[in-house]
Amino acid sequence: MTLAYRPGGGVLHRLDPRAKLALQAGFAAAAFAHTTILGLAALTPVAVVVPRLAGASVRDVLGEFRAVAPFLLAAPAVAGLTLGEPWFRIAPAARVALASYRVLLVLLVAATYVYSTPVRDSRAAVRWLLPGKLGAATGIGVALVFRFLPVLQGDLTARRDAVNARLGGERS
């Protein structure tokens, strides 16, 4: 699986890209406004349902971010460590754990946008949002990232498979 547009007939596929950007921005604003356990617990069902509306599963979306997962998991442990007694403080670790969880929820919604929006529609939405030369340059940047990230992921996967086929994983 690559983080790229997937054609489909889901509810989010039929929405205008600007509406999807507004949904994504609204969700991120709510996630950063409601940073308590209850606030994030209320946002969790929304973040779990949104990928389904784009025809993806939460498991697929989380698989896209497996490179980020170790950092999100290790951050609370690192934040709680101290140099001296008591060696570990729970309050900073809990605060960072909530922040990591919040990032995970926002990533779920962001991936859903990518799954349900073609590159050309994303570029047009960004150009509409940011008029003038800034919008044109940003639109081109968005288009390049959306087009070349899946290509780069595919190339890296092919290289890894080729190395493993030559028993590269067993060599020093």
Per-residue pLDDT of the chain in tens (172 residues, 90 and over written 9)? 566 677 878 888 888 888 888 888 999 999 999 989 999 999 999 999 999 888 888 888 888 888 888 999 999 999 999 988 989 999 999 999 999 999 999 999 988 888 888 877 777 777 777 888 887 787 777 766 766 666 677 778 888 888 888 887 777 6
Please answer whether residues 77 and 35 qualify as being in contact, where contact means their C-beta atoms are separated by less than 8 angstroms: no
Helix ranges, 54-131 (H): 58-64, 69-80, 90-116, 119-129
Q: What is the pLDDT of residue 132?
A: 85
Q: What is the pLDDT of residue 79?
A: 93
The residue among 88, 79, 98, 82 whose CA lies nearest residue 35 is 98
Please answer whether residues 117 and 10 qualify as being in contact, where contact means their C-beta atoms are separated by less than 8 angstroms: no
pTM: 0.74
Within 10 angstroms of residue 130's Cβ, the number of other Cβ atoms is 14
117 burial type by CB count under 10 A (0-12 exposed, 13-18 middle, 19+ buried): buried
Q: What is the pLDDT of residue 146?
A: 66
